[in-house]
Amino acid sequence: MNRLGLYANQLAHHLTITDNRTGKTIEIPISTSRESDFIHSIKLGQLQFQGQPLRVYDPGYMNTICCTSKISYIDGDKGILEYRGISIEELAEKSTFVEVAYLLINGELPSKSQLQEWNEKLRKHTFIHTDASQMMKSFRYDAHPMGMLISTLAAISTFHPEVNPALAGEGIYKNQDIVNKQIYRILGSLPTIASNSFRNRIGREHNMPHENMSYVENFLYMLDKLNEKEYKPHPKITRALEVLFILHAEHELNCSTAFVRHLSSSGVDIYTAIAGAAGALYGPKHGGANEAVLRMLEEIGDLKNIPQFIKDVKDRKKLLMGFGHRVYKNYDPRAKIVKQIAYQVFEITGKESLIEIAIELEKIALSDPYFIQRKLYPNVDFYSGVIYRALGFPTDMFPVLFTIPRVAGWLAHWKEYQNDKENNIVRPRQNYIGPEKRNYIPVEQRKEFPIYLESNKSSRQKRRETATLS
C-alpha cells in the first residue's frame, strides 16, 4: 500500500485498483504496445475523494505516454533505434539524409521516381525571400547563429499569412497540398537559413544555393564558398556530415519534438511551432550537450589528468558529460557510428587533439564498475562535438547543425499530429501549494516581506547612479 492508500494488482488485461479512502474498486484496461504496457490515466479520475478526482503527478514526464506514433522506436535497454522500423545502423550505412527525411515524413522509403521528385521539390525551395535574407543581415555581428535561425523561422511565418491557421482558418492544414508545401519550404530553406547565420557570424556575404548539388553538399557550399568559380566540398566530408544528419534526424519524443506536438495542439502555424522547437533545442540540456562535452575534454586537457577527473566525478565534484541518456541504458547505437565517422574525418582534416582524451576517457569509464552499475554509456553527443570541431565549426554552430536534420523529425510529428484523432489541446494540471483564499489588503496596511528585487548592473549604470540627477 502506498501513501495514498491504493492497492493495485495487475491481472491479464486490466489493472484492479481499490481506493481505501472510499472503498471503491475500479478496473482499468491495460493496453500493450511494442514499447510498453500502459493505462489511460484519465480513467483514474473515476476515483474521487471529497469531490476531487485522482490525478497522476509526473514532473518532467518521466513515466508518461502522451501520444501514439509510428515514426521512431527506441529500446533503451538493448540500445536499439529505428526509423519507421528500419535500424539506424542500416540507414546510416546505405541511405542519404534526404531519403531518410522522406521516410520519416511519409512513412515509407521512396521509389526512384519519388526520390527524384522529392529532391527536386526541396531544391526548388532552397531560396528564401530577399526580405528574410535582408532581415538576417541586420542582426548584430556577434549574434548567436541559433538565435538568428530561430528568429528567422518565426519571422517567415509572416511571409505566408495564407497558410496561417490564425488568419486562414483552423482547417487549413486538412489540405494535404498545403501541408506538403510547408514541408518543402521549411526542409528546403533551412540549410540556407543556417548557412546565412554562419556567414553573418564571420562577416561574409550570403551565398546563393547551388542548383546541382545534393542537400548536404549544398549546405557546405553555402557555408564556405568565397570567390571561386567552381567550389565543391570534399565528398568524404559531405558523407560524414550526411551520416551525422541521419543520426540526428529523429529521436522519438525528446524535449523539442514534444514541443512541436505541444505547440501544434493550439493550432499555431508550423513556422512558429518549428521555431519554438528550435528554441527548446537551443537549451544546454538538449542541443548544447555536445558543446558541454568539448568543454569537459578541454578542462581535462591531458591524458594524465583523466584518473583525477574520474575520481572527481565519483565524488560528485565534476560532471561526466556525453555519458548516460534519459532513454538508453545501453550503448547509444548512434554513438558507435559517430565514433567510426570521427576517424574518417581525421584522415582528411587531421586528428583533433581532444580525441585521444575522449577515447581514453571512454575506455576507463566503460571498464569501471561505478559507471557500469549506473549504466552510463557514451551517447551521440560524446564524439559529435569533436567531429564538428575537426570540421572547423565554432561551438556556437553546434545546435544549428543539430537543428537542420532534426527538423525532418519535427515535420514528421507535425504531419502525423494533423491526422491524430486524439490531438486535443495540451493542458496539463498542476499541484497547487500556494496560499488559500485571502483578502486584498490596502497598500497602507500591508506588511513588508523580505523579497529580493535587485538585478545585475553594469559598471556604467553604477557610475550613473553616483551622479546628481534632476
Q: Which residues are catalytic?
A: 286, 325, 381
Please, what's the largest Cα pairwise distance for the chain?
Answer: 81
User: CB neighbours (10 Å) of residue 304?
Assistant: 8
Residues 6 or more apart in contact with residue 160 via CB below 8 angstroms: 182, 185, 269, 271
Report how far apart, in Å, the C-alpha atoms of 175 and of each of 104, 167, 169, 349, 421 are: 20, 15, 12, 47, 16
User: CB neighbours (10 Å) of residue 327?
Assistant: 16
Report, in angstroms and rounded to the nearest whole number, the Rg of the chain calculated over CA atoms: 26
Residue 14, φ and ψ in degrees, nearest 5 = -150, 165
CA 75 to chain centroid: 19
Cell numbers that stand for 255 in this block: 524535449
Report how far apart, in Å, the C-alpha atoms of 127 and of each of 123, 187, 207, 370 are: 8, 11, 10, 51
Residue 49, φ and ψ in degrees, nearest 5 = -140, 125
Could you tell me if 83 and 245 are in contact, meaning their C-beta atoms sit under 8 angstroms apart? Answer: no
Could you tell me if 89 and 335 are in contact, meaning their C-beta atoms sit under 8 angstroms apart? Answer: no
Outline where 169-234 has alpha helix (H).
176-201, 215-224
Q: Which amino acid, one-letter code, is at 21? A: R
DSSP string across 2-43 = -TT-EEEEE-SSEEEEEETTTTEEEEEEPEE-SS-EE--GGG
Q: Which DSSP letter does residue 70 get? A: S
Exposed/middle/buried for residue 170 (C-beta within 10 Å: 0-12, 13-18, 19+): exposed
Q: Which of 388, 364, 158, 192 is nearest to 288 (CA)?
A: 388
Q: Which of 327, 324, 330 is nearest to 78 (CA)?
A: 330
| Bridge pairing between strands 14-19 and 24-29 | antiparallel
Exposed/middle/buried for residue 378 (C-beta within 10 Å: 0-12, 13-18, 19+): buried
